[in-house]
Amino acid sequence: MSTMRARPERGMTLVEITVVLALAALVMTGLAGFYVSSQATWLEAFTQALTQRDATLLVAAITDSTRTARKAVVSSYPDTLHQTLTLYSDEGATAAFRCFYWRDSLIRMGGNQPADGDPAVVTSRVGRFQLATVDSSLVLIELIELPSPGGRPLRLSSAAALYNR
């Protein structure tokens, strides 16, 4: 009787291939989830930084214009949540040279009064634009509120003195 030797097995079984593919799918799903989560976090931080930059630019534009004015007047146009700041170059308040106002959720900068076609100071939407003056020589930016993509609005306040008095 001849002895038959068992041949060594070669290759992989279907069960082994299935287990390896399932583990690879789990690892790839985890990596894809981490990538998507990281991208969403980066995008939210980026848009928050843009909103903060726009708020800073808006306050700087108002402050720079206010410092060169001789008189400042705040009016509740169009309403008390969105006011208008008019800056005058002389004490008689006859020649307004700059006007900051809210229209279409943007802060616009115009000449002596709001007009169609005035450019927006920044591209971010503004929810509230509330101002006040103290003796027409100090402009208080009581609240500038810019909606943030993260849900929590960015709130900013400041003050600017009129140096050209």
Classify 157 in phi/psi space as left (phi over 0), alpha (psi -120 to 50) or beta. beta
pLDDT digits (tens, 9 = 90+) for 42-56: 998 888 889 999 999
Distance CA 67, CA 63 (A): 6
Note whether 72 and 163 are within 8 A (CB): no
pLDDT digits (tens, 9 = 90+) for 107-159: 999 987 788 889 999 999 999 999 999 987 899 999 999 998 777 889 999 99
The pLDDT of residue 83: 93
Alpha helices in 4-88 (DSSP H): 14-67
**DSSP one-letter code for 16:** H
